[in-house]
Amino acid sequence: DTEVTQTPKHLVMGMTNKKSLKCEQHMGHRAMYWYKQKAKKPPELMFVYSYEKLSINESVPSRFSPECPNSSLLNLHLHALQPEDSALYLCASSQESSLGAEAFFGQGTRLTVV
């Protein structure tokens, strides 16, 4: 199983809503990532979790709050987002952060903030 599963696939939310994006992998990977991708741009790194601990936060606004409940799951909690936060949010995992291994990506959640 080389799959990273993200839910939901599409999400429309208002600026006052609270929602969560979910990501799951069963490859035994110990590093998990959140990326944001705008149209015609490459994915931009937001957060890195290593062994369920937040290791890197790329100065992401606090309206995005990551959580890693266990080694297979990664959430991204959203609150008070702005229309410019509309994007494709990609989750990825890799074997272990220190190994420099390749990352496997989920299909993403396409988020629209209205």
Site residues (CB under 8 A) for another protein? 31, 33, 41-45, 48, 50, 55-56, 90, 92, 94, 97-98, 100-108
As measured in angstroms, the least distance from the Cβ of 36 to another protein is 11
CB 4 within 8 A of CB 105: yes
Nearer to another protein, 90 or 111 (CB): 90
Residue type (1 letter), 90: L
Nearer to another protein, 9 or 18 (CB): 9
Q: How far is CA 111 from the centre of its chain?
A: 12
Nearer to another protein, 84 or 102 (CB): 102
As measured in angstroms, the least distance from the Cβ of 97 to another protein is 4
Measure the CA–CA gap between 75 and 34, rounded to whole angstroms: 9
As measured in angstroms, the least distance from the Cβ of 17 to another protein is 24
Measure the CA–CA gap between 53 and 21, rounded to whole angstroms: 18
As measured in angstroms, the least distance from the Cβ of 102 to another protein is 5
Nearer to another protein, 85 or 109 (CB): 109
Residue type (1 letter), 48: V
Output phi, psi for 97, to 5 deg: -60, -35
CB 68 within 8 A of CB 49: yes
